Structure 1
Amino acid sequence: MDDREFRVLVVDDNATTRMKLSMAAKALGHVAETAEDGLVALRKLAAGAFDLILLDIEMPDMDGFGVLTELRKSPGLRDIPVIVISAADDMDNIVRAIELGAQDFLPKSFDQVLFRARVGACLETKRLTDQRADYLSQIEAEKQKVDALLAATLPAAAIDELKRTNRVQPRRFDNVVVLMADVVNFTGFCDVNPPEEAVSRLERLVRGFEDIARSHGLEKIKTIGDAFMATAGLLKPSDAPVPAAARSALDMVAQAPDLGSGWEIRVGVHVGPVVAGVIGKQQHLYDLWGDTVNTTSRLTGLAAPSSVCVSRPIWDGIAGAGRSLGEVTLRGKGALEAFHLEGVTGSGT
């Protein structure tokens, strides 16, 4: 057993016995408090922490059996070891007390050697119980840290799947709205400014984009460099994913100069099928693949500074204000009609 100072509560209606037990506990280096009956004992237990209870069985008002019964009802008290004090030949009461949760017993006439052995054994049990509780608390705290890290890295549905199956199976999703935003001339800014300044601004910008996306029901997927990707209608149900993404894009453009201390952004939005999931075994990243993602990236590059460029399917899915850019040729995609989006005037689909 360690050198910790334990607190012992002596419960006995006989003053002489209380004194004898208290002195014996103090002789072992422990702190001893006393209670003259069960009701007083329960009040003291509610007011302060104890490591061991020395409990007389026969007491007025509330006897030892009543105390043991109340201890079992309380999650905060049931793990305190109890040694009952009884006549050595009163085996019926001793057995009943142990059935109610007592760990051991001492005869009313005991010597210091026996007292040391039985008290020491119970306190060692209490130490191990406390140690186990501390370990479990540490494990729970670490689990919460891991859960928080996962929540910051993966969408909620992906976390659930990862916990259940130990992986996030890539799968196809139809009609997913993909939004991409990047900073105009970010590379040029980094060339003439300290990296700390660039990262500090980018941090404020991304945090703001996260808030905007969340407010419209979108899910952030990832950031790569100065690029921000979010989706609507992927893992969370959405009644109107297209207008939600369009409004989110317009809000990002409007707020980017304040969030990024003067930066401008360009945004592209497209809708279609994607494959989404996690690949590899380390440093998990939820990602998207497919033609829809590539087209969104090309539209983002096509957008003018401080503007939103959307595809025909997005334009058709909203009541929007803006203008057609006509058919444009996207690298690796060929001709595609694109639109400069200036506002969303209706709910759309």
Structure 2
Amino acid sequence: MMPVSVGAPARLLVVDDAESNLEVMTRILEREGHQVVTASGGAEGLAKLRDGDYDMVLLDVMMPGVDGIQVMQAIRDDERLKRIPVVMLSALHEQDTIVKCIQLGAQDYLPKPINQQLLKARIKACLERKRLQDLEDASTLRLEAVGAQLRAANEQLRRANQLKSRFLATAAHDLKNPLGGILLLADRIRMEAERGAPPERIAAQAGRVHEVVQKMVHIINSLLDTTVQEMGEVIPAFEMADLGSVIRAVVRENEPYAASKGIRLHCDAPDGLCRGVVDRARLAQAVDNLVNNAIKYSPGGSEIQVGLEHHGETPGGVARIGVIDQGPGFTPEDLDRAFAPFQRLSARPTGGEHSTGLGLSIVKQMVELNGGRVWIEGDRAWGGAFHVEIPLRELEPTSVPLA
């Protein structure tokens, strides 16, 4: 209930087995403006307490069946009821009865016959204590809410600071070698130009500079993608798309890279099999990372299978994309941390390629942006298999939670 204002009417429960006592108490309390509910025994009093909200209880001690002491014990054991102030009423004057009531949580004790002035004063005092306690509880809840908000903000700042540190460390580490290579190639181009080397030789060296710069751009884009995703600033652009065409386009883009390592790409992603509302660009980025990773870690002469299947009986169902390679696979430790950012796993690129440790974390973010999920099957005995499931929605979703 809301805190009772000073002097405001309250909702009171009077529990007594004597009908005459109930009538007298009701008249006294109603003249004070209070709303009075009565119960003619302990069991009825407990039932009414549990079914309603009361600001205070006036409880007789001596009652047949469930007496006042038992009612007090039940109130004390009930989390919702134990904060309601209780004044015990009894014709008994034994000290041990009074002590027992106070020990059980009663705020006060009044002997019968009831003195009206004393009753009014005790009720006023108890309601005032309840009002102050309610205000204190409300303040505590507000402080706890503020504390939770501050802890959440601190955690967000901690994660942002951790991300910044990882970003800078990874950028410094991963860009150092390509920058050194660019400097060496630039010096070589300058020396060969001074010696009058033929243009095609200089052009070849410039082409190598271009390749190294492209690698640096890829590293920087991966870092920036991860940073934006961690900050929750990715804004999806949903559209109706044929997932088969998205996958085939990704495979075509990766065919020159696969051919350079003697790896065969086999794609089975037919048109029209899976259509739905997705963020086409980010889904393509997820599949591209998976295919690129498979090529990077697969041995020459092996085959990578990229497939698309339709699953499910619900409207639209789900599209399942698979990328299966014949590479070294994953250890149990790899599987536990594969999709975390900045994680380099046990396998090493078979062609000496560079790895930022971000590819799979980007895959997870992009798949979840499309409302899907990604998981790995595989061990070192037979290679690795990545599976992506995307719900095939007909209407553009209003929101998709980020991981």
TM-score of the superposed pair, with normalisation by structure 2: 0.44
Which amino acid is 2:235 matched to? R
Which amino acid is 1:57 matched to? V
Query: Does 1:245 find its partner at 2:327?
Result: no
Q: Secondary structure at the match of 1:115?
A: helix
For 2:150, the equivalent position in structure 1 comes to: 146
Q: 1:52-201, aligned counterparts within 5 Å?
A: 52-87=56-91, 89-155=93-159, 180-181=220-221
Deviation at 1:85, TM superposition (A): 0.6
Match of 2:340 among 204, 213, 218: 218
Distance (whole Å) between structure 1 residues aligned to residue 28 and residue 89 of structure 2: 14
8 Å contact from structure 2 (residues 223, 358) kept in 1: no
Deviation at 1:36, TM superposition (A): 0.7
Q: 1:240 to 1:113 in 2, by over 3 A?
A: farther
For 2:399, the equivalent position in structure 1 comes to: none
Q: Secondary structure at the match of 2:339?
A: coil
Distance (whole Å) between structure 2 residues aligned to residue 17 and residue 72 of structure 1: 25
Matched residue count: 215
Distance (whole Å) between structure 1 residues aligned to residue 94 and residue 154 of structure 2: 59
Q: Secondary structure at the match of 2:109?
A: strand
Distance (whole Å) between structure 2 residues aligned to residue 240 and residue 143 of structure 1: 44
Match of 1:29 among 12, 20, 33: 33
Which amino acid is 1:56 matched to? D
Q: Secondary structure at the match of 1:181?
A: helix
Q: 1:248 to 1:68 in 2, by over 3 A?
A: closer
Which structure has more strand as a fraction of its residues?
A: 1
- Taking only the aligned residue pairs, the percentage that are identical comes to 29
Distance (whole Å) between structure 1 residues aligned to residue 11 and residue 347 of structure 2: 63
Deviation at 1:65, TM superposition (A): 0.5
Q: 1:29 to 1:180 in 2, by over 3 A?
A: farther
Distance (whole Å) between structure 2 residues aligned to residue 86 and residue 109 of structure 1: 8
Match of 1:39 among 39, 43, 68: 43
8 Å contact from structure 1 (residues 216, 244) kept in 2: no
Per-residue CA deviations over 1:294-347 (Å, capped at 9, x if unaligned) read xxxxxxxxxxxxxxxxxxxxxxxxxxxxxxxxxxxxxxxxxxxxxxxxxxx969
Which structure has more helix as a fraction of its residues?
A: 2
Distance (whole Å) between structure 1 residues aligned to residue 135 and residue 124 of structure 2: 16
8 Å contact from structure 1 (residues 177, 232) kept in 2: no
Match of 2:235 among 192, 204, 208: 204
Per-residue CA deviations over 1:56-115 (Å, capped at 9, x if unaligned) read 000011000000111111111111111111126343322221222111111222232211
Q: Secondary structure at the match of 2:221?
A: strand
Distance (whole Å) between structure 1 residues aligned to residue 18 and residue 362 of structure 2: 79
Distance (whole Å) between structure 2 residues aligned to residue 131 and residue 140 of structure 1: 14
Distance (whole Å) between structure 2 residues aligned to residue 60 and residue 203 of structure 1: 69
Q: 1:232 to 1:150 in 2, by over 3 A?
A: farther
8 Å contact from structure 1 (residues 37, 62) kept in 2: yes
Q: 1:112 to 1:244 in 2, by over 3 A?
A: same
Q: Secondary structure at the match of 1:155?
A: helix
8 Å contact from structure 1 (residues 8, 52) kept in 2: yes
Per-residue CA deviations over 1:207-248 (Å, capped at 9, x if unaligned) read x99xx89x96335xxxxxxxxxxx447xxxx87896851234
Higher relative contact order (CA 8 A, sep 6+): 1
Structure 2 gap segments, 5+ residues each: 175-218, 225-232, 238-278, 290-336, 349-354, 371-382, 386-403
8 Å contact from structure 1 (residues 86, 94) kept in 2: no
Distance (whole Å) between structure 1 residues aligned to residue 131 and residue 111 of structure 2: 24
Distance (whole Å) between structure 2 residues aligned to residue 35 and residue 181 of structure 1: 73
Which amino acid is 2:109 matched to? F
Deviation at 1:5, TM superposition (A): 3.1
8 Å contact from structure 1 (residues 177, 245) kept in 2: no
Q: Secondary structure at the match of 2:358?
A: helix
Per-residue CA deviations over 1:150-180 (Å, capped at 9, x if unaligned) read 343333997xxxxxxxxxx99x999x99864
8 Å contact from structure 1 (residues 38, 63) kept in 2: yes
Which amino acid is 1:204 matched to? I
For 2:246, the equivalent position in structure 1 comes to: none
Query: What RMSD, in angstroms, separates the aligned Cα atoms of the two structures?
Result: 4.6
Which amino acid is 1:134 matched to? A
8 Å contact from structure 2 (residues 9, 32) kept in 1: no
8 Å contact from structure 2 (residues 222, 359) kept in 1: no
8 Å contact from structure 1 (residues 8, 51) kept in 2: yes
Match of 1:50 among 54, 57, 60: 54
Q: 1:240 to 1:41 in 2, by over 3 A?
A: farther
